[in-house]
């Protein structure tokens, strides 16, 4: 069964498996002890730290291992904020950061700090100079800025080097979440702190990296002990750490060739999906992106049903759609980009993905989408474009009551009635589904109609759409 969700967790690399099994035999002792078994464990830990630091391009004594990538993010942000409390209590993040960063920002606000979210364009990329502007306009002293190296949902690469220069000019450290990109190469720029997660590159789950450059003010906020420089207390999971470092070195050695191969497969998906499936929006930067990841959204499709049908066809993918069982609101990434969220599919290919599996995915996808649309009663492309169809007597304005209905139903009902008003007429959609706030404007953008905004209604929100075509 093709697994196309490497951005969530990559399959365990063979080198990681070998290193894990070997370390279970050799690295079970306490590396802080001076007897033979302890010294052997310490040698394994030191070697793993040196290998990971080489990949990160930092000094070994600047890097610690944490129990997860999320823990690395939380500890990194909290430690930098605490260490620079005298400089200020303002935090800058991008609007498309991983939820672990945004949760840490929310905790900082709850503790009395302030936060600026830097917006992105429709490709999901922070604009050049955006961090300089955020630093300049901050309401108080800035303690820390955060920027991911690459987006986890749409694959867009961020201008980390430029943002690092802007932060350095303001004497503000920059924390980079490199979870999605570290397996493909080092992070460019003069960053101050860096975090990553081993299971994203084919290492075992339960190992994160936190690098803090020398000279960065940092104070661990949790009770410290003698392990991991006091920044990640508790007994190290040495076998997993050894496997994580070994697999990072292995995937880096394979990265250049595999990136070129996977980029070709992803390019095929990006080009063919809009040709094979009507009413699809491929999102993310088409050029400055991760080599293995592509995201697209399908109009008039229930995201949960689409994922289930693809799973039945033996394809494992993920989604940022609001109509999946794991979430009730659209992905914050898609919302910040202002793109369609319904029927969202993220395909992230693990190393070794076969070309035949991608070809079969492209064969299966059109029928799966068509089947879901038919069950939902979505309008067919021919219905909207048939010039021979009799024109109904137009109404100057219509109201569509979609209260209590979840995505993609409000957009489907809008699409069905837009032709019943004359060009220049208005359709008002009443909806209490949060996804409508994103998907109705996105539908207008895709279908050439004019979105005139929203206003509060007695129940829910009224969205106004003026027919332009």
* 3-class DSSP state of 210: strand
Q: Which two tokens stand for residue 111?
A: 């503790």
Provide the phi-psi class of 348: left if phi over 0, else alpha when psi is between -120 and 50, else beta.
beta
- Are 345 and 298 spatial neighbours (Cβ–Cβ below 8 Å)? yes
3-class secondary structure, 451: strand
Is residue 146 part of the annotated active site? The answer reads no
Cis peptide leading into 218, omega within 30 of 0? no
Query: φ and ψ at 356, to 5 degrees?
Result: -65, -35
Complete DSSP assignment for 40-107: HHHHHHHHHHHHHHHHHTS-GGGEEEES-HHHHHHHHHHHHHHHTTTT-SEEEEETT--HHHHHHHHH
| Catalytic position from the list 58, 323, 407, 444 | 323
Q: Pairing between strand 142-148 and 174-177? A: parallel
- Alpha carbon distance 380, 382 (integer Å): 5
| Residue 376: Cβ within 10 Å count | 14
* Location of structure tokens 């260490």: 83
Detail the DSSP E strand segments found in 357-421.
397-401
Cα–Cα distances (Å) from 3 to 164, 267, 327, 452, in that order, read 35, 18, 22, 41
Cα 12 to Cα 365: distance, rounded to the nearest angstrom: 27
3-state SS assignment for residue 265 = helix
Sign of the dihedral through C-alpha 98, 100, 103, 105: negative
| Residues annotated catalytic, as ranges | 323
């Amino acid at each position: 069964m093709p697994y196309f969700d490497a951005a969530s967790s990559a399959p365990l690399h063979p080198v990681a498996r070998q290193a894990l099994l070997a370390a279970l035999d050799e690295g079970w002792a306490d590396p802080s002890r001076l007897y033979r078994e302890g010294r052997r464990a310490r040698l394994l830990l030191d070697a793993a730290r040196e290998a990971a630091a080489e990949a990160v391009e930092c000094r070994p004594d600047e890097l610690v291992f944490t129990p997860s990538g999320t823990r690395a993010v939380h500890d990194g942000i909290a430690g930098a904020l605490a260490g620079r409390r005298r400089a200020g209590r303002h935090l800058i993040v991008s609007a498309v950061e991983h939820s672990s960063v945004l949760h840490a920002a929310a905790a900082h606000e709850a503790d009395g700090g302030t936060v600026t979210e830097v917006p992105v364009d429709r490709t999901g990329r922070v604009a050049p100079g955006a961090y300089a502007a955020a630093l300049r306009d901050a309401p108080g002293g800035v303690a820390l800025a955060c920027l991911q190296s690459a987006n986890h949902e749409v694959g867009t690469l961020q201008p980390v080097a430029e943002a690092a220069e802007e932060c350095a000019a303001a004497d503000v450290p920059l924390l980079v979440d490199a979870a999605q990109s570290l397996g493909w190469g080092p992070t460019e720029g003069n960053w101050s702190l860096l975090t990553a997660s081993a299971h994203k590159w084919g290492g075992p789950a339960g190992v994160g990296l936190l690098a803090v450059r020398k000279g960065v003010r940092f104070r661990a906020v949790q009770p410290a002990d003698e392990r991991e420089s006091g920044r990640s207390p508790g007994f190290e999971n040495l076998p997993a750490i050894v496997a994580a470092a070994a697999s990072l070195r292995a995937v880096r050695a394979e990265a250049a060739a595999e990136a070129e191969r996977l980029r070709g497969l992803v390019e095929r998906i990006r080009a063919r999906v809009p040709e094979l499936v009507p009413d699809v929006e491929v999102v993310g930067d088409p050029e400055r992106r991760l080599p293995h990841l592509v995201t697209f959204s399908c109009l008039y499709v229930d995201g949960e049903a689409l994922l289930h049908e693809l799973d039945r066809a033996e394809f494992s993918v993920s989604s940022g759609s609001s109509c999946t069982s794991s979430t009730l609101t659209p992905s914050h990434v898609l919302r910040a980009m202002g793109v369609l969220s319904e029927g969202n599919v993220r395909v992230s290919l693990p190393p070794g993905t076969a070309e035949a599996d991608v070809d079969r995915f492209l064969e299966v996808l059109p029928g799966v989408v068509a089947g879901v649309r038919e069950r939902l009663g979505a309008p067919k492309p021919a219905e909207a474009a048939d010039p021979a169809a009799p024109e109904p007597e137009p109404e100057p304005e219509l109201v569509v009551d979609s209260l209590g209905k979840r995505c993609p139903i409000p957009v489907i009902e809008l699409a069905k009635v837009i032709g019943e008003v004359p060009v220049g007429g208005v359709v008002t959609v009443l909806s209490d589904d949060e996804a409508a706030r994103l998907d109705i404007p996105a539908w207008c953008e895709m279908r050439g109609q004019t979105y005139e905004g929203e206003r509060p209604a007695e129940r829910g929100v009224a969205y106004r759409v003026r027919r332009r075509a």
